[in-house]
Structure 1
Amino acid sequence: MTKKKIILLGATGSVGVQALDVIAAHPEQFELVGFAFGKNIEKAREIIQAFSPKIVVAAQESSQVTLAKAFPDVELHVGNEGLITLARTEGYDILLNAIVGSVGLPPTIEAVQLGRDIALANKETLVVAGYTIMAEAARTGSKILPVDSEHAAIFQVLQGVAKSDVRSLTITASGGSFRDKTHEELVDVTLEDALAHPNWTMGAKITLDSATMVNKGLEVIEAHHLFGIPYDDIHVVLHRESVVHSMVTLKDGAVLAQLGATDMREPIQYALSYPRHLTMHHETPFDLTEIGALHFEKMDLVRFPMLDLAYRVGKLGGGYPAVYNAANEIANQAFQDGKITFLEIEQLITRAVFEHMEFDGQTLHQILASDERTRQKVSQWVEDLTQEKKIALTEVRK
């Protein structure tokens, strides 16, 4: 049996660690030939010792130097250029992109241009460059295999279903940490409050995006590109239990749903093993009789304005989705750093989108330039807000 050779981006993050569990559970099926990681050098050491990869990329030069001394037989690279080198490596079958943020875009484009399959957990790749990625994949034969549980669910349901038979898609949303709070009650919420997700254990960035509902907005845009379905036919419903991961409605009225435990290993494993369903080792128990009841509610787009804004930027196209995403990445991190309040996240994103100047026929290069300008602008707005708060605090103390 020929093993499927895997490159893993974001190996020390939440999705990356679970992907390693899947790879380790099926040594006869998978081989990790290379990976990239951020700051967790101790976890990177463990991965190298456990999987003996040929090539590793560190985010920081200091990590590269340290690992080079400990593992002289491993080819080591650093930074964004290292990610490109990793994507260009010969002899792998599938690249699992589990990096958070738009930094995951360039290596994905490289891999798609080489005709490699992509297991995609990085929403930002399709949000920023969906038309480019999907067009290149069609040209080279690269398969884009979704890892997000919602998109993986749709992908699985659509196996054997003609696209022309699809009426609409329904993506479920847990509602995040603040689903039971009114908008007015979010004024003083803390980072600790935001990271207390009721259903999932994820990284800080994605958990916070779930609380603002930006995460679901990004998923709507991603679903549009992955499945070629118009935005008006992509619906979001609030589903507290996170048992039904997504649904597909066919033209005859049949509704097909994918259900399962809240375990990211399942969509990861299916993306890596596609089109086969392998045995899940240490499977998370799932019993509908114990769950008892499932609840679905309409999404309130006034309560969750970032989801409404995502539909708007998706329909506008061009550089708008990139601006939405870039502004969110900066604002999300600023909240994590204690520089802005929770509600200021959506205020900054909205301002960036409404100030964006668009013109017809934008190229990917121009879209990426808009992305960079947005990051610079929003970063300055964050600093302005921080300074204003310091001045106000000084005045109060006087």
Structure 2
Amino acid sequence: MKRIAILGSTGSIGTQTLEVVRENGDIEVLGLAAGSNITLLEEQIRQFHPRLAAVWSEEKAIELRTRIADTDTKVVSGMDGLIEVSILKDTEILVTAIVGMIGIRPTIEAIKAGKDIALANKETLVTAGHIIMPLAAEKNVSILPVDSEHSAIFQSLQGNEHKAIHKILLTASGGPFRGRTEEELLDIKVEDALKHPNWSMGQKITIDSSTMVNKGLEVIEAKWLFQVDVDQVQVIVQPQSIIHSMVEYVDGAIMAELGTPDMKLPIQYALYYPHRRYLPGERLDFYSLGRLEFEKPDMRTFYGLALAYEAGRAGGTLPTVFNAANELAVSQFLNRQIKYLEIMEIIEDCMQAHKNIENPTLQQILDTEAATYERINSRR
């Protein structure tokens, strides 16, 4: 039996990870952590019987303890609870599917405890890649990407030398507003931005996909995962989301991973790497597909992507500002406090105002996040 724990078990990646667990039957779930959805978490506890479950607030933890008093699962809360799940004895792999920079500390502690990381929390590497990757190497821990694009790159690298990479071709669907002008985005509503054409994802990442900020975060993440320069990562819009990403080698050969848009494939690949398992579901039919389309990203209208390249080149605390400003701006947009285009305006304002810190400590990263939030909140 392979033993895992999941941070963010009630979210999109977390629930699909548990579907993979259910379908395979040889994975034991030792720990689960969620934000506030204790109703779904209770269902998961009763089905998978983890030793430990964590929720963010102690109030919710008290309620959950009452609900599952007839089980053997211990319930903990807060950051200490997340860390307790992350370092749980006997766990081999930690699936980090929690959204936001809240995932950094639990990931660091899991690496220190020798756990392999199935990484779906891109903010961890975006803001603290200079801490995470050397620590993983020191502890001989594998960082296994769960994002569809990074999994595709990881798969395309198998059997090849890292020094032979010429560039990474990071694909993007273009989101629901591909091809629109800035004028056409002035009155975008929350409901419009949540209608992704290909993928079923959580609200935050769906908004990020629509602005292409998500692709910017993935560019910075790829820099750390695959030890390349930001400018070696080229974004290509592939509207059908069939090619999940590619690697071009120094001899001109390009390796790609193709498939239907299904997050369970990269999840399962990370959990069983280097082995492949049968995965039920729709298969890619090239006769029906007919052709594949490619476009250049519009980095003038969707300039959040251009800002990500700027942050990635600069390094230091600037990627933290980029990420934190986006997190809060997206939250405000979802709460209908700001307009759609203000998301990118807020990111740019925060980046321009920031005095960059090279090689920041974890505390400096967290302080930068807090200062960015404070600047945004002072606008209101």
TM-score of the superposed pair, with normalisation by structure 2: 0.98
In structure 2, what residue type is equivalent to 1:284? E
Partner residue of 1:10? 8
Partner residue of 1:208? 207
Whole-angstrom CA distance in 2 between matches of 1:359 and 1:285: 47
Whole-angstrom CA distance in 2 between matches of 1:76 and 1:362: 34
Distance 1:41 1:310, change over 3 A: same
Among 10, 25, 28, the residue aligned to 1:31:
28
Alignment of 1:82-93 (within 5 A): 82-93=81-92
Partner residue of 2:61? 64
Whole-angstrom CA distance in 2 between matches of 1:50 and 1:265: 19
Q: Does 1:48 align with 2:53?
A: no
Q: How many residues align?
A: 378
Deviation track 1:191-219 (CA, whole Å, cap 9, x = no partner) reads: 00000111111111000000111100000
Q: Does 1:298 align with 2:289?
A: no
Partner residue of 1:179? 178
Q: Helix, strand or coil: the match of 1:176?
A: coil
Partner residue of 1:391? none
User: Offset of 1:47 from its aligned partner?
Assistant: 0.4
Partner residue of 2:20? 22
Partner residue of 1:257? 256
Distance 1:96 1:285, change over 3 A: same
Whole-angstrom CA distance in 2 between matches of 1:81 and 1:364: 16
Partner residue of 1:390? none
Deviation track 1:119-158 (CA, whole Å, cap 9, x = no partner) reads: 0001100001001000000000110000000000000110
Q: Does 1:195 align with 2:179?
A: no
Distance 1:361 1:200, change over 3 A: closer
In structure 1, what residue type is equivalent to 2:37? N
Partner residue of 2:114? 115
Whole-angstrom CA distance in 1 between matches of 2:288 and 2:147: 25
Whole-angstrom CA distance in 2 between matches of 1:88 and 1:172: 34
Deviation track 1:320-347 (CA, whole Å, cap 9, x = no partner) reads: 0001000000000000001000011111
User: Offset of 1:364 from its aligned partner?
Assistant: 2.9
Partner residue of 1:157? 156
In structure 1, what residue type is equivalent to 2:59? S
User: Offset of 1:232 from its aligned partner?
Assistant: 1.3
In structure 1, what residue type is equivalent to 2:307? L
User: Offset of 1:377 from its aligned partner?
Assistant: 1.4
Aligned Cα root-mean-square deviation (Å): 1.0
In structure 1, what residue type is equivalent to 2:364? Q
Whole-angstrom CA distance in 2 between matches of 1:211 and 1:284: 25
In structure 1, what residue type is equivalent to 2:10? T
User: Offset of 1:108 from its aligned partner?
Assistant: 0.4
Q: Helix, strand or coil: the match of 2:368?
A: helix
Larger Rg: 1
Q: Helix, strand or coil: the match of 2:234?
A: strand
User: Offset of 1:362 from its aligned partner?
Assistant: 3.0
User: Offset of 1:162 from its aligned partner?
Assistant: 0.2
User: Offset of 1:366 from its aligned partner?
Assistant: 1.5
User: Offset of 1:368 from its aligned partner?
Assistant: 2.0
Whole-angstrom CA distance in 2 between matches of 1:80 and 1:377: 25
In structure 2, what residue type is equivalent to 1:228? Q
Whole-angstrom CA distance in 2 between matches of 1:33 and 1:166: 38
Alignment of 1:216-255 (within 5 A): 216-255=215-254
Whole-angstrom CA distance in 2 between matches of 1:38 and 1:363: 26
Instruction: Confirm or deny: 8 A CA contact 2:152 2:257 kept in the other structure.
Output: yes
User: Offset of 1:292 from its aligned partner?
Assistant: 1.0
In structure 1, what residue type is equivalent to 2:155? Q
In structure 1, what residue type is equivalent to 2:185? L
Whole-angstrom CA distance in 2 between matches of 1:125 and 1:59: 18
Whole-angstrom CA distance in 1 between matches of 2:33 and 2:354: 33
In structure 1, what residue type is equivalent to 2:368? S
Whole-angstrom CA distance in 2 between matches of 1:306 and 1:193: 19
Whole-angstrom CA distance in 2 between matches of 1:67 and 1:4: 27
Distance 1:361 1:137, change over 3 A: closer
Q: Helix, strand or coil: the match of 2:244?
A: strand
Whole-angstrom CA distance in 2 between matches of 1:79 and 1:325: 22
Unpaired stretches in structure 2, ≥5 consecutive residues: none
Partner residue of 2:79? 80
In structure 2, what residue type is equivalent to 1:293? R
User: Offset of 1:69 from its aligned partner?
Assistant: 1.8
Give percent identity, aligned residues only: 46
Instruction: Confirm or deny: 8 A CA contact 2:130 2:359 kept in the other structure.
Output: no
Among 362, 365, 368, the residue aligned to 2:363:
365
User: Offset of 1:361 from its aligned partner?
Assistant: 4.4
Distance 1:49 1:362, change over 3 A: closer
Whole-angstrom CA distance in 2 between matches of 1:133 and 1:299: 30
Q: Helix, strand or coil: the match of 2:378?
A: helix
Q: Which region of structure 1 is more displaced relative to structure 2, 17-26 or 68-77?
A: 68-77
Whole-angstrom CA distance in 2 between matches of 1:44 and 1:162: 42
Whole-angstrom CA distance in 2 between matches of 1:299 and 1:224: 19
